[in-house]
Amino acid sequence: MKRLFLLVFLIVCQTNDDDDDSYQITLMSYNVMLLPSILVFERDQITRAHLLTKAKFLRTSDILCLQEVFQKRPSSILLSALAETYPYSTPVLGDEDDKNEWNEIWNCHISSSPLKFVSGGVTILSKWPIAYAVEYFYKHACSAHSFVRTGFVYAKILYGHNKYPVHVFGTHLQPNDYRGCYLYGEDKIREKQMHELNSFLQARNISSNELVFILGDFNINRYNVQQYENMLEILHVHGQYLHSSSIPFSWDSSFNAMTNSRHNNQLLDYVFLHKNHTPINTHWFNLITDRMASKQWRLLGENHSFYNTRNIPLIELSDHYPVISFFNLSRQQWSRRPSGVITYVKFMTADTNLPVIIVDRELRIGTSINQTGTLFILTNNGTPRRHRCLRSEQHILLIDANKPEFYLSNEKLFRMKFGKEHANRYLKIIQLDNLSNCIQTNSTIIFQSRLSTGYYYVNSQFSQLCSCTNDKKQVQRFRLIEVELKRELLAPTSISRTTTDTASKVVTTNVSIINDSTAPVNPNNLLACCFDKPREIVSSVTTPVKELNDYMELIVPDEESDDILLF
């Protein structure tokens, strides 16, 4: 009898584990911006590809969909390295060398057109076997994408030890470049492309018991309400729920120097779960994380001519940030640490303890220790949002925290100027005390700047800071003081709507959120959350906790991580 009871117990436990297995799946979408050589000219994509291979966060998901793996050599560097983690993969969409590896190819007459000479740049990588793979070429495209074999990749993946069928559609929809789309416009082209994807999906007659994901760079801004809701309707997917530790943009022109600062911040990347293939009592989260490279690199390469204003030091890996996705029933430990954190600092002279202040846009040393020092935002040319390790010898940007549109300019005499285009990207911070691997509060530092005539250390002339000495003995020493951490948020508020058929939903882990307002919101200040419609309050969702170091490193890296970079 005891043996029978034990056998029944084991069967029940095994069944529960099997049922729960699919809830542990994690997917990631990442536009890595390895552009065709005809578009990038001197841009150093080889160095960036090598830096991407060192990014630990790229190896933490079960399934990874990459977009813009266009250029052969850097793409090969990245994909070869990732094959160690993801032994199964589809070919790159539209890569003529691998066209015989697909199980199906749709609209191949489109890809064979002599006008289509650039691959689609989309591929799906997996830790689990890919049982079936299809490449589909869109019938509609415009502007620069008229020359791209644009479309989507479909992969049927046997997930987990029980080989649970999971269906993944990876795509990169028509971008916005405002040229050459005169007949329809980019938004109409994207609609046609999504209808093609949805028609293909419906024709597969996939069982409702099997998960279906649609992910990639959709080039539809989350905060353009009409286009966003239209996308959800066409694809028949759930609205995007951002995890509480997510940032609200995947394309961040505020801080990411690889973006175009003339455009507003946008959320363009998604990992969607299809409505007809959703387990009951679950929520599917997206988490956008602003990951950086392990070290700074130069846009045009280290060996480029010394003084070229375009050869700026960067620490970003791409113009997009990756989107990680998972169920609320996931046993993995996802960080509760708030994102959207800005680090404010002050500087004091190390010898006289006088504050650095801004007077009439000039950076000066104060005259009294009782003066209040100016607050600055300090960033190593990447986002200053998260606590990361700021290392000695890194180039930084110095921003007026009270007027963040003002940057330290690239002039001999230190002045703040309006607009990121005037920012001094060659200001180097050097730690003198070496008390830790990272520059911290009370670290003793000096600054070095590059002018057209060479490198100069920073000291002062008549109390104004300037790049005016080659002699390191005459340099002004400072102490860095971290003042406060401030989370950039707004009380949850809905964006104004024109339709009213579904409920407003804002879901974050362990937090009950909602709202009933229809006032417009500035998307640059939005709390990371998801809105569908302004009506219903959503109860809190509790994520089960299980320690998992790989995923903790993904969100909150330790000091020795390859991926940590700023405060």
Greater confidence (299 vs 65) lies with 65
Residue 361 forms part of a structural domain: yes
What is the per-residue burial (b if ≥16 Cβ within 10 Å, else e) of 233-271? ebbbbbbbbbbbbbbbbbbbbbbbbbbeeeeebbbbbbb
Residues 273-300: tens digit of each pLDDT:
999 999 988 999 999 988 888 888 777 7
What pLDDT score does 553 carry? Answer: 35
Q: Give the separation between CA 249 and CA 266, rounded to whole angstroms.
A: 5
Greater confidence (260 vs 94) lies with 94
Greater confidence (524 vs 467) lies with 467
Q: Give the separation between CA 349 and CA 444, rounded to whole angstroms.
A: 9
- Nearest CA among 51, 65, 54 for reference residue 322: 65
What pLDDT score does 20 carry? Answer: 62
Q: How many domains does the chain have?
A: 1
What pLDDT score does 544 carry? Answer: 32
Residue 462 forms part of a structural domain: yes
Cβ(234)–Cβ(192) below 8 Å = no
* Per-residue confidence band for 546, with pLDDT thresholds at 50, 70 and 90: very low
- Nearest CA among 505, 511, 508 for reference residue 536: 505
Mean pLDDT score, 114-143: 94
What pLDDT score does 63 carry? Answer: 98
Residue 508 clears pLDDT 60, i.e. is over it: no
What pLDDT score does 120 carry? Answer: 94
Highest mean pLDDT among 199-203, 325-329, 377-381, 494-498: 199-203
Cβ(55)–Cβ(294) below 8 Å = yes
Mean pLDDT score, 7-22: 49
Greater confidence (454 vs 495) lies with 454
CATH assignment at residue 423: 2.80.10.50
What pLDDT score does 515 carry? Answer: 28
Please count the other Cβ atoms lying within 10 Å of the Cβ belonging to residue 167: 20
Q: Give the three-class secondary structure for 248.
A: coil
Q: Are strands 362-365 and 356-359 parallel, antiparallel or unpaired?
A: antiparallel
Highest mean pLDDT among 331-335, 367-371, 535-539: 367-371
Residue 101 clears pLDDT 50, i.e. is over it: yes
* Per-residue confidence band for 251, with pLDDT thresholds at 50, 70 and 90: very high
Least confident of 190-199, 342-351, 479-488: 479-488
Using CB atoms within 10 Å of the CB of residue 144, give its burial: 0 to 12 exposed, 13 to 18 middle, 19+ buried: middle
* Per-residue confidence band for 533, with pLDDT thresholds at 50, 70 and 90: very low
Distances (CA, A) of 64 to 31, 128, 510: 11, 11, 27
Q: Residue 348: enclosing H or E segment and its boundaries?
A: strand 341-349
Residue 453 dihedral angles phi and psi, to the nearest 5°: -100, 0
Which residues span the domain enclosing 478? 341-486
Residue 561 clears pLDDT 90, i.e. is over it: no
Residue with tokens 């708030």: 338
Predicted TM-score (pTM) of this structure: 0.79
What pLDDT score does 252 carry? Answer: 86
Q: Give the three-class secondary structure for 428.
A: strand
Residues 447-460: tens digit of each pLDDT:
999 887 888 999 99
Q: Which two tokens stand for residue 82?
A: 């990732």
Mean pLDDT score, 496-518: 30
What pLDDT score does 393 carry? Answer: 87
- Residues ≥6 apart with Cβ < 8 Å to 124: 63, 64, 65, 89, 90, 130, 133, 153, 155, 168, 170
Greater confidence (183 vs 170) lies with 170
Using CB atoms within 10 Å of the CB of residue 158, give its burial: 0 to 12 exposed, 13 to 18 middle, 19+ buried: middle
Greater confidence (18 vs 210) lies with 210
Residue 87 clears pLDDT 80, i.e. is over it: yes
Residue 249 forms part of a structural domain: no
Residue 35 forms part of a structural domain: no
Residue 5 dihedral angles phi and psi, to the nearest 5°: -60, -45
Residue 469 forms part of a structural domain: yes
Highest mean pLDDT among 33-42, 258-267, 321-330: 321-330
> Which amino acid is residue 205, in one-letter code?
N
Whole-number percent of the chain with pLDDT over 70: 75
Highest mean pLDDT among 102-111, 210-219, 366-375: 210-219
State the average pLDDT for the chain: 79
- Nearest CA among 15, 87, 27 for reference residue 211: 27
Residue 410 forms part of a structural domain: yes
What pLDDT score does 305 carry? Answer: 53
Mean pLDDT score, 532-540: 27
How many residues can be counted in the chain? 567
Least confident of 348-352, 361-365, 388-392, 498-502: 498-502
Mean pLDDT score, 497-510: 32
Residue 322 forms part of a structural domain: no
Q: Give the three-class secondary structure for 80.
A: helix
Count of alpha carbons within 13 angstroms of residue 10, beta-carbon side: 6
Residue 563 clears pLDDT 80, i.e. is over it: no
Residue 304 forms part of a structural domain: no
- Residues ≥6 apart with Cβ < 8 Å to 517: 493, 494, 534
Distances (CA, A) of 224 to 87, 229, 322: 38, 9, 20
Mean pLDDT score, 93-109: 93
Q: Give the separation between CA 455 and CA 477, rounded to whole angstroms.
A: 17
Residue 333 clears pLDDT 60, i.e. is over it: yes
